[in-house]
Amino acid sequence: VSGARLPVLVIGTGYGGSVAALRLAQAGVDVHMVEMGMAWDTPGPDGKVFCNTLEPDHRSYWLRTRTKAPLNYFLGLPIDRDIPRHTGILDAEEFGGITVYQGRGVGGGSLVNGGMAVTPRRENFGAVLPSVDPAEMYGVYYPRANAELGVGTVDPDWFDSTECYRYARVGRKHAQRSGFPFVFVPDVYDWDHMEREAAGTAPKSALAGEILYGNNHGKKSLQQTYLARARATGRVSVSPLHRVVSVAPAGGGGYTVVAEQLDTGGAVTATKTVTADRVFFAAGSVGTSKLLVTLKATGALPLLNDEVGRGWGDNGNVMCGRANHLWDPTGRLQSAIPCAGIDNWAAGGAFAEVAPLPTGIETYASFYLTITANPHRARFSWNAAAGRVELDWRTAWKQPSIDMARTIFDRINAKEGTIYRTDLFGVYKIWGDHLTYHPLGGAVLGRATDHYGRLTAYPGLYVIDGALIPGNTTVNPFVTITALAERNIEKIIATDL
């Protein structure tokens, strides 16, 4: 409601924002959440809330007239197609040297991601969050995050027998024959539901190729976990299709927050102003960084420090495929939810997930998303002439990631007598090095903020999302984002309220 005075306003409804909302509400504080994307709680014309990965429609992309599939070629042919411009669920946000994929809607990235819920190995944690005590994270906050998110692991016996993980078993065989440790990757997908999908007794989602544009069944997104519990307190309200554009100190204390209401074509239909005693920036690494950099440069929050916008990384994401022999089919039916990985972090700086290619046909391809120890960090800055925030990442900075991924796949190819696929990212192009799913940093803990995410120049302003993490988590990031948010909000509730 325009003109209202709120105790707490949270910008964004992803992991960081949802943790903050739940814990503040449980502490007796009323919370209002503002989300630029849609609510994703209403079925479309086909009776489903989310559209299928193989049949992208208006629901698929955030304000684009053509899809921008991460894997954009098949057999050397481009697969993107025209779609109506709409406030769809997946944003492929283009910066100079990289396309950053992000979820848009109530639930943030949890709506579109693979649900892979991985806690970093403890020996790697010092590189992930150097200023945080590992004992408290591994003793309290990682377990808390895993429990609330509903993390589980595939039943190994079912894994060994089901057609839908043939591709992952081929991945395991190849990894083990080359001497690499193979690991099961935990996930928030409901594994019992998936077994029922395979048995034909539950509606299909993972087994119908649903993933990038949302899962209609089975996946425990934040809508089913943190946000459901937050709403059940009766203290949390959400405004979807509202984009925060300004936060500035208010005359009588607190902060004036300006939000633009959007229609589903992306047009601004109203501008609303509220005052909040406390504001949590939870717009994701890119969203929070863009807001803070803009607000500092344009004079709304001039006292933010010079670390704002710095320390951004891509979690070392790089993709590739391998062409298997005809005796290694990967299966026509592939679960869209990955469950297996190859851990070569210690020796080669690479953790590769065996990813599906749920095309419905036999491809004889193994496909991988590899997370690597890429050392490059980029910076967001305000371009006054263009009136927008830019990121100085360069495509060439993916080369260390490619080299690290090759420590796994060159060896497997040599052992198996196989080659890389060259038809998945262009015409004769091996590496998917133009994108990330895992933006991290831009308001790094202990640098842009204090050790709990406070923007100390402005009491009552906090960062509580992936922007806090300095560019890499060694594994998929959302469990770490959630656990860090749990740690920080507990401290903030105990000391600031």
Q: Which residues bind ligand FAD (CB under 6 A)?
A: 11-16, 34-37, 101-105, 108-109, 112-116, 212, 243-244, 282-285, 287, 291, 437-438, 465-466, 476-478, 481
Q: How far apart are CB 410 and ligand FAD at their closest, in Å? A: 25
* Pairing status of strand 340-344 against strand 350-355: antiparallel
Q: How far apart are CB 105 and ligand FAD at their closest, in Å? A: 6
Q: Is the CB of 333 or the CB of 464 nearer to ligand FAD?
A: 464
Does the annotation count 438 as an active-site position? Answer: yes
Q: Is the CB of 453 or the CB of 477 nearer to ligand FAD?
A: 477
**What Rg do the C-alpha atoms of the chain give, in angstroms?**
22
Contact 420, 413 (CB under 8 A): yes
Q: How far apart are CB 369 and ligand FAD at their closest, in Å? A: 8
Residues 6+ apart with CB under 8 A from 276: 5, 6, 7, 8, 9, 32, 254, 255, 257
Q: Which of 32, 86, 193, 438 is flagged as catalytic?
A: 438
Q: Is the CB of 118 or the CB of 170 nearer to ligand FAD?
A: 118
Q: Which of 148, 353, 486, 490 is flagged as catalytic?
A: 353
Residue with tokens 């892979």: 116
Q: How far apart are CB 302 and ligand FAD at their closest, in Å? A: 19
Q: Is the CB of 108 or the CB of 358 nearer to ligand FAD?
A: 108
Please spell the DSSP secondary structure of 106-169, one letter per residue: TTGGGGTS--B--PPPGGGHHHH-TTS-HHHIIIIIHHHHHHHHT-B---HHHHHH-GGGHHHH
Total residue count of the chain as it appears in this document? 497
Does the annotation count 123 as an active-site position? Answer: no
Beta strand residue intervals within 316-364, DSSP E: 318-323, 340-344, 350-355
Which one, of 105, 17, 136, lies nearest residue 462 by Cα?
17
Residue-wise burial string across 147-173, b where 16 or more C-beta atoms lie within 10 A, e elsewhere: ebbbbbebeeeebeebebbbbbbbbbe
Q: How far apart are CB 211 and ligand FAD at their closest, in Å? A: 8
Q: How far apart are CB 419 and ligand FAD at their closest, in Å? A: 27
Q: Is the CB of 38 or the CB of 416 nearer to ligand FAD?
A: 38
Q: Is the CB of 165 or the CB of 437 nearer to ligand FAD?
A: 437
Please spell the DSSP secondary structure of 355-406, one letter per residue: E----SS---EEEEEEEE-----B-EEEETTTTEEEE---GGGGHHHHHHHH
Angstrom distances, CA of residue 32 to CA of 6, 298, 485? 7, 26, 17
Catalytic residues: 353, 438
